[in-house]
Amino acid sequence: MDLSPYRITTEPYYHPTGHEIALYEHAYAHRLPLMLKGPTGCGKTRFVEHMAWRLGKPLITLACNEDMTAADLVGRYLLDTDGTHWHDGPLTTAVRHGAICYLDEIVEARQDTTVVIHPLTDGRRILPLDKKGEILKAHPDFQLVVSYNPGYQSHGKQLKPSTRQRFAALEFDYPEAAVETDIVAHESGIERSLAARLVDIAHKSRRLRERGLEEGISTRMLIYAGTLIHDGLPPRDSCRMAMTAALTDEPDMAQALEAILDAAF
């Protein structure tokens, strides 16, 4: 199978915040299954893309959701004009041909779906294809990476211990202010001084989590706002559209976010 569509040919920009690149390289050297833990929009997906490019490996990404079935991962028989044929799912494609498989926000998947990855995350490194009657041994280059937002635990979204304990883990968080400012300025094209003002807004919003805000403004949202500003939209409108309006519908919390914007602009 041609995996060229899954190969990243241009370096994805990633600003390290610690030793995560070296740690990932050690994990990949031993093909350890890896869990990336951190809040939404802090750079987990970009990190995986960067590492796939750095290692020269194809990357197959699947966004998990509560309607995803085991067949969506491993594959199914489909009927066409020539009869019934087996079609590999994204996980099976990665296992068979030696790609990195990234299951984004695995906590969103049903627990009866995620159990299919268990035989891939221990010494067996196999994927049973029950409907096909095949035991697929993982390609030597295959690695499984998942992402997980611990903040969802309070909403009943958490991994079973039997799944969690099969992974090594890297913890992510929003970068410190100076690094986050560099990222926002680079990705959006705005002046660093303006990027610093956006980052300050984000840091203040994140402190509102102590008052009940589910999540603060993410690095990704800052980049969206900066992109709109760079395109000529007024900063206040850009921030409201890309940063604050999407965070909450609760009137008191929305008012608090508006106050943060008033102070900044």
Express as a percent the part of the chain with pLDDT over 90.
78
Contact call for residues 103 and 59 (beta carbons, < 8 A) = no
At residue 157, does pLDDT exceed 70? no
Average pLDDT for residues 70-96, to the nearest whole number?
Answer: 93
Contact call for residues 47 and 172 (beta carbons, < 8 A) = yes
pLDDT of residue 238: 96
pLDDT of residue 138: 98
Shared-domain flag, residues 84 and 145: yes
Contact call for residues 106 and 148 (beta carbons, < 8 A) = yes
Average pLDDT for residues 82-90, to the nearest whole number?
Answer: 92
> Which of 151, 171, 191 lies at the terminal end of a domain, its last residue?
171
Which segment, 20-29, 71-80, 105-114, 152-161, is predicted with the most confidence on average? 20-29
> Which of 171, 200, 232 lies at the terminal end of a domain, its last residue?
171
Q: Tokens 């199914």 correspond to what residue?
A: 76
80 pLDDT tier (thresholds 50, 70, 90):
confident
Task: Classify residue 256 by its DSSP letter.
Answer: H
Alpha-carbon Rg for the chain in angstroms? 21
Is the Cα dihedral 16, 20, 22, 27 positive or negative?
negative
Shared-domain flag, residues 15 and 83: yes
Express as a percent the part of the chain with pLDDT over 70.
98
- 3-state SS class at 68: coil
At residue 129, does pLDDT exceed 50? yes
152 pLDDT tier (thresholds 50, 70, 90):
low
Shared-domain flag, residues 190 and 82: no
- 128 CB-side CA count, 13 A: 7
Of residues 250 and 212, the one with the higher pLDDT is: 250
Average pLDDT for residues 69-76, to the nearest whole number?
Answer: 94
**Calpha distance 184→199 (Å, rounded):** 8
Shared-domain flag, residues 220 and 120: no
Shared-domain flag, residues 64 and 95: yes
Shared-domain flag, residues 110 and 35: yes
pLDDT of residue 256: 92
Report the CATH number that the domain containing residue 11 is assigned in CATH. 3.40.50.300
Range(s) of the domain holding residue 199: 177-264
Average pLDDT for residues 163-174, to the nearest whole number?
Answer: 94
At residue 209, does pLDDT exceed 90? no
Shared-domain flag, residues 150 and 78: yes
At residue 89, does pLDDT exceed 90? yes
**Calpha distance 261→265 (Å, rounded):** 6
Average pLDDT for residues 146-171, to the nearest whole number?
Answer: 81
At residue 151, does pLDDT exceed 80? no
pLDDT of residue 156: 58
**β-bridge pairing 75-80 and 83-88:** antiparallel
**β-bridge pairing 143-148 and 100-104:** parallel
Q: Tokens 């994204």 correspond to what residue?
A: 90
Please report which helix (H) or strand (E) contains residue 239, including its range.
helix 235-239
Mean pLDDT of the chain: 93
Q: Tokens 């998947």 correspond to what residue?
A: 109
Shared-domain flag, residues 87 and 191: no
Shared-domain flag, residues 155 and 216: no
The burial class, CB within 10 Å (0-12 / 13-18 / 19+), for 62 is buried
> Which of 136, 171, 206 lies at the terminal end of a domain, its last residue?
171
Domain count, the chain: 2
Lowest mean pLDDT among 13-22, 80-89, 136-145, 151-160: 151-160
154 pLDDT tier (thresholds 50, 70, 90):
very low
Is the Cα dihedral 119, 125, 127, 133 positive or negative?
negative
Residue type, 175: P
Lowest mean pLDDT among 5-19, 92-106, 144-158: 144-158
DSSP secondary structure, 206-227, as one string: HHGGGGT-SS---HHHHHHHHH
pLDDT of residue 158: 74
